[in-house]
Structure 1
Amino acid sequence: MACFILYIYCNPFGNILAVYTVFSASDVGPCRRLSPPLNANVFLRKWHKIWFGLVRHKNYVKGIFDFLKLLINCLLALYFKLSPNFNQTRRFFDSMVYKDVVAWSSMITGYVRVGNPNYSLELYTKMIDLGFDPNGFTLSAVIKACCEIRDLKLGCGFHCVVIRRGFEENNVIISSLIDMYGTNYDFSSALKLFDEMPEPDAVCWTSVISALTRNELHEEALGLFYTMHRRNGLLPDLFTFGSVLTALGNSGRSRQGREVHAKIVTAGLCGNVVVDSSLVDMYAKCGVVDGSQCVFDRMDKRNSVSWCALMGGYCQKGEFDTVIELFRTMGEVDLYIFGTVLRACAGLAALKSGKEVHCQYLRRGGWRDVIVESALVDLYAKCGFDNYAYVIFRQMKVRNSVTWNSMISGFAQNGKGAEAIAVFEEMISEGVKKDYISFIAVLFACSHSGMVDEGRKYFLSMINEYGIKAHIEHYSCMVDLLGRVGEVEEAESLILGAEFRNDASLWATLLGACTSSTNPTVAERVAKKMMELNPDYHLSYVLLANVYRAVGRWADALEIRRQMQEKRVNKITGKSWI
């Protein structure tokens, strides 16, 4: 049949008259009633019913060209369906003498589907230049292309075209616009579009739920899901459940996750690889790794998402050995799985296993990824090979904040404070966005290198210049830094002025510094504060008794020892291996 259509296309005016006479008189109906784009299978199914007849002369010429367009679009549909090479489809499209808006829309949509959104936008521009008016399918395709390339400005331009051409009530186009705004983190515009819809269908509900999930508005996304399901009576599909499970996983709601799991079973969607992979990911992010493993074991087909989700759950739980075992049992390795396995190797400081994974990554040949290479930097730094980590760091074409933080932390952990600060300064000069982890790393480097002035400078700049709120980890680094150089009074003042002034871990850090301090007054205050916050912490009693003995207050020292016995606070015996 395809050969027959091709023969007609190549010899239109020699053979089309007889064929048109046959086809137009059949029970398929006039050609103009078949709404494009046509499915080639319709043509095949109806062919055996064609019978000869006559048509009126005034419709004959117009019918010939309608039928010719039908055949050409039918053949284009066959190329889309059967040809594995999209370039062949493009060559056929370029060879077409007459192209209508259906053919243009098919090609534009095809480029989006095969992952070439820029080509679809170029084709749209060419189509407009030739004087064709876009239809709903065309606009939906180019809006999806804007979504793929993350171009909010261009997407807003197409939104104006939608309004100007009167497609505001087309649910397919509005759904594409909601996706576009959500992908570009403009959730307010996505919500406004959704609220203005008179009767949104399930696809539109799914689009707005997905947009809220992408913008980490998980509460709002879950609220819309329950509204859609209970009030409007719309049935969620697998994409709706996928977005909802992502929101539940990111918010750590395992109980509600089980409820949604039950709804999925009721809807008969269990066994779908997309839904099952989302369930594995949800349970893993909620810390219910047993639930992830249970769903994973029941899956008939597993993809890279399900493997990566399960391994990520074990990695998050600290079961790094299990991650490495799973990696060795799976077949083809996905890009993101390399990053997860390397994190597990770094957590175990398993250099040999890490090198094996590194070799597999290199054997892919030319496959570069910032997540994997950042994990390699972290692995070698944690294993003590900061020089290897630095070589990988320098060879990376793209670096993100995780890469920089890993390199700074790696130098700091290996006692190279000057190198860590040099990398941090380079990070500042290149304009890389710094987060609270970046400052933990550089303050840790200052603490272990005794760089007091630099530590004070970075701590103040973090709060005043970058507007980053100081966490317990930042205060702990500063208290440790000041305590190491004997500035225990300044460290005490820093804790008293902090939001976390009653956190026992900060006072424990300062208490450790007081063991080597020559200031008995501060040591006494810190020990008493620590006894108040954590009465069972033995070091508080030991330190206070030692302070009293140092200044000759023997009776007070004996009283502290008596309190330890009454409260049954035992001094932990030290151990060493020879």
Structure 2
Amino acid sequence: MKRLILRHCHSPPQINSIQSPLRSKFLSLCDSGDLLTAILLLNSADRCFLPSEPIIFASLLQASTRSFSFPFGLQIHSHILKAGLDADRFIGNSLLSFYFKLCPDISVTRKVFDVLPVKDIISWTSMVSGYVRAGLPVESIKVFISMSDFGVEPNAFTLSSAVKACSEMENLGLGQCFHGKVMVRGFSSNRVISSALVDMYGRNSRIEDARKLFVRMPEPDAICWTSVISAFTQNDRFEEALGFFSSMLQRISGLVPDEFLLGTVLSALGNLARSRQGKEVHAKVITSGLSGRVVVESSIIDMYAKCGIVDDSRQVFDRMENKNAVSWCALLGGYCQNGNFNAVLDLFQEMDADDNQYSFSTVLRACAGLSAVMQGKELHCHFLRIKGGRNVVIESALVDLYAKCGLVSYAHRVFLNAATKNLITWNAMICGFAQNGQAGQAIEMFNDMIKGGTRPDYVTFVAVLFACSHTGMVEEGKKHFRSMNEEYDISAGIEHYNCMVDLLSRAGMLEEAETLVLDSAYRDDSSLWAALLGACATHRCPALAERVAKKMIELEPGYHLSYVLLANVYKTIGRWNDALEIRMLMRKRKVRKEAGRSWIGAQNSSLDSQRYVNSFHSASVEFKELAAGMEAVPYSAAQLELKSATAPVKEVTYLLKAQQRNLQKEVFATFAVKLI
């Protein structure tokens, strides 16, 4: 009983005289950051003479939070319990703030919250926002519902945190419910909530709703501008994102963009391949004193890589004093985007990537680009060994790797065993089926994704239209092409038009394909006309072929494919003289056909070797030797070993099997290349 009385005796009369000096002493120590002295003073004080004013312990907790002193904060928490001040709301909220910011285990923070005798709106808001910051949006919404059950009314900060949770969950329906709650409670003009709503609509691809909400804001601040610019960038509306950025600079005089806004702008510029403007923003970063920030410098690396200037990316990376996982992954991704897959594998050897999922996924993409399934399997095993669990980013990359290497059954197995399937996982599997000739399964997978509530994006429709074109599903393809804009507000890009031209051309609907190209925003893109010209050769339509080829040559006089495809059309219908004239025209204009290139894995091409593939060029000496060797082989099984004058440099062994049928030969060759 005595202990209980002492616990709830906040202001014992016998120590009133010392409270004021103690308070001044502790507050002075908190201001100076001398936590060690404060803790020693608390530990040395007699229990009856402990300070009993909540502001003292709240100040000590805040000082511990500022100095990232988790052990000191735990000791202060124990003294709070001894002093019987744990029921004070001010101290309770300070404890929540301390644990949220310093404790890595959010379940411990939840226990602190659960034992608070009194929970006010600040306590509930701390839990709602804390779960969002911890990446647990579902738990955040559960806390919000519990708060409503207890009759606590949300304030603007609570609602903004709940909207952010909906953004993380990409739950449009729930986000719209909170939008309605915001309007009912009269918070529509609140900038924090408005910026959160813009972000929520942007993440759910409702970009026009985000625009309307932003336009209604009377005086948007920098946070609101950043939200709308990020929303348009995330939805690949880069031109409009840069337009908003320009408007922001005009409307807010003297604004110095922060690192997050500059990172978003650099991302938009990179995706538009605007290196000149990107360099201007880079200069702005330097003059603004932000060049040492990892976030913005990683964005600069990514921007230069997307503009195809990987050497500049490497220079920025090498000059960085502090490199984290983001900067390493930015350079890895840059090499991967530019097809320099060997550099990705080399760079991966230099970094400590055991704890970074994105570096693993980037290297797996490089393996997919090289069709290096052996190295991909090594990485798969390595990840399982160090992590021993599942990860949606890695599993999506594995699905993509195995599908691109032709191992669709492996890819499907990884997909089925994935604990979580996001849009990237679905896209990888749909693309895998489509690219490996299993179009029916790709369409079925797309329908399953829609039924499961996952919203398709730009890439999804590229895969679906590709699948339709390779199975002759003309009406199905037209339906999906229309639904992109009508149902999902996705503007058709060059890839979608290429698939549609291929779909219509395969079905012999060449005139309709030509009309589609002429009516599109990409009528001046030579790749569309090239696809149509190739179909003219298949269906023997010289009149259309000449018209299309003329258009292609107007657009790109130096593009060799225009001449080659037209010559092939003439050959198919027996107009050999016309085909010869096209070839002569190529010589006259000095247009050269690009030589083909292929590669095979070199001996010992594992992750530990420095050379991963051996490249063969159709104009190279090795290729000519290979062709000569194949001609020398009789039509029965044989082995041939060729050695050039520089025999130590290379040894090529060919194992050939051939059959003769009329005047045609079918040669199956298996060869190994040893580089010394």
- Shorter-chain TM range is 0.7 to 0.9
Partner of 2:384: 362
Structure 1 residue 280 corresponds to structure 2 residue 325: no
Q: Match for 1:426 among 419, 439, 444?
A: 444
Note the C-alpha offset of 1:79.
3.7
Counterpart amino acid of 2:357?
L
- Structure 2, unmatched stretches of 5+, are 29-51, 67-83, 451-455, 485-491, 596-617, 619-623, 631-676
SS in 1 for 2:135: coil
Q: Which moved further from structure 2: 71-80 or 400-409?
A: 71-80
Structure 1 residue 461 corresponds to structure 2 residue 471: no
Note the C-alpha offset of 1:331.
0.7
CA change 1:392–1:10 in 2 (3 A) is farther
Supply the distance in 2 between the matched residues of 1:315 and 1:342 (Cα, whole angstroms).
10
Supply the distance in 1 between the matched residues of 2:190 and 2:18 (Cα, whole angstroms).
37
Note the C-alpha offset of 1:561.
6.0
Partner of 1:102: 122
SS in 1 for 2:249: helix
**8 Å contact from structure 1 (residues 308, 336) kept in 2:** yes
Partner of 1:438: 464
Q: Match for 1:344 among 325, 347, 366?
A: 366
Supply the distance in 1 between the matched residues of 2:534 and 2:365 (Cα, whole angstroms).
29
**8 Å contact from structure 2 (residues 267, 303) kept in 1:** yes
Structure 1 residue 509 corresponds to structure 2 residue 534: yes
Q: Percent identity?
A: 39
Supply the distance in 2 between the matched residues of 1:558 and 1:75 (Cα, whole angstroms).
88
Supply the distance in 1 between the matched residues of 2:56 and 2:285 (Cα, whole angstroms).
36
CA change 1:23–1:499 in 2 (3 A) is same
CA change 1:153–1:435 in 2 (3 A) is closer
Supply the distance in 1 between the matched residues of 2:414 and 2:517 (Cα, whole angstroms).
39
Note the C-alpha offset of 1:92.
2.8
Partner of 2:341: 320
Structure 1 residue 499 corresponds to structure 2 residue 517: yes
**8 Å contact from structure 1 (residues 213, 221) kept in 2:** yes
Supply the distance in 1 between the matched residues of 2:435 and 2:448 (Cα, whole angstroms).
18
Partner of 1:246: 267
Supply the distance in 2 between the matched residues of 1:110 and 1:146 (Cα, whole angstroms).
14
Q: Match for 1:307 among 324, 328, 333?
A: 328
Q: Match for 1:335 among 346, 357, 362?
A: 357
SS in 2 for 1:132: coil
SS in 2 for 1:430: helix
CA change 1:100–1:384 in 2 (3 A) is closer
**8 Å contact from structure 1 (residues 108, 142) kept in 2:** yes
Structure 1 residue 181 corresponds to structure 2 residue 201: yes
Partner of 2:164: 144
Matches within 5 A, 1:399-418: 399-410=425-436, 412=437
Structure 1 residue 13 corresponds to structure 2 residue 42: no
Note the C-alpha offset of 1:384.
4.7
How many residues are matched?
512
Supply the distance in 1 between the matched residues of 2:417 and 2:55 (Cα, whole angstroms).
58
Counterpart amino acid of 1:403?
M
SS in 1 for 2:290: coil
Supply the distance in 2 between the matched residues of 1:198 and 1:205 (Cα, whole angstroms).
12
Q: Which moved further from structure 2: 290-299 or 370-379?
A: 370-379
CA change 1:421–1:272 in 2 (3 A) is closer
Supply the distance in 2 between the matched residues of 1:498 and 1:65 (Cα, whole angstroms).
74
Per-residue Cα deviation, 1:310-362 (whole angstroms, up to 9, x for no partner): 22222221111111111222112422333322222222222332222222233
Q: Which moved further from structure 2: 272-281 or 79-88?
A: 79-88
Supply the distance in 2 between the matched residues of 1:542 and 1:119 (Cα, whole angstroms).
63
**8 Å contact from structure 1 (residues 182, 190) kept in 2:** yes
CA change 1:133–1:298 in 2 (3 A) is same
Supply the distance in 1 between the matched residues of 2:64 and 2:381 (Cα, whole angstroms).
53
Partner of 1:450: none
**TM-score normalised by length of structure 1:** 0.73
SS in 2 for 1:139: helix
Q: Which moved further from structure 2: 376-385 or 230-239?
A: 376-385
Partner of 1:267: 288
Partner of 1:293: 314
**8 Å contact from structure 1 (residues 443, 459) kept in 2:** yes
SS in 1 for 2:9: helix
Partner of 1:61: none
CA change 1:224–1:144 in 2 (3 A) is same
Counterpart amino acid of 1:275?
V
**TM-score normalised by length of structure 2:** 0.63
CA change 1:139–1:65 in 2 (3 A) is farther
Supply the distance in 1 between the matched residues of 2:569 and 2:65 (Cα, whole angstroms).
91
Supply the distance in 1 between the matched residues of 2:85 and 2:396 (Cα, whole angstroms).
60
Per-residue Cα deviation, 1:167-206 (whole angstroms, up to 9, x for no partner): 4554334333333333333444444444444443322322
Structure 1 residue 154 corresponds to structure 2 residue 174: yes
**8 Å contact from structure 1 (residues 37, 77) kept in 2:** no
**8 Å contact from structure 2 (residues 103, 109) kept in 1:** yes
Note the C-alpha offset of 1:282.
2.0
Structure having the higher helix fraction is 1
Q: Which moved further from structure 2: 423-432 or 144-153?
A: 423-432
Per-residue Cα deviation, 1:117-170 (whole angstroms, up to 9, x for no partner): 333333333333334343443333333223322333433444444445454554
CA change 1:511–1:115 in 2 (3 A) is closer
Per-residue Cα deviation, 1:66-123 (whole angstroms, up to 9, x for no partner): 9944444444444445544333333233223333333333333322222223333333
**8 Å contact from structure 1 (residues 175, 204) kept in 2:** yes
Supply the distance in 2 between the matched residues of 1:371 and 1:239 (Cα, whole angstroms).
23
Partner of 2:43: none
Supply the distance in 2 between the matched residues of 1:316 and 1:548 (Cα, whole angstroms).
43
Counterpart amino acid of 1:293?
R
**8 Å contact from structure 1 (residues 147, 179) kept in 2:** yes
Q: Aligned-residue CA RMSD in angstroms?
A: 4.5
**8 Å contact from structure 2 (residues 61, 98) kept in 1:** yes
**8 Å contact from structure 2 (residues 367, 373) kept in 1:** yes
- Structure 1, unmatched stretches of 5+, are 1-6, 46-63, 413-419, 447-454, 483-489, 515-521, 550-556
Supply the distance in 2 between the matched residues of 1:347 and 1:377 (Cα, whole angstroms).
13
Per-residue Cα deviation, 1:249-272 (whole angstroms, up to 9, x for no partner): 233322222111111111111111
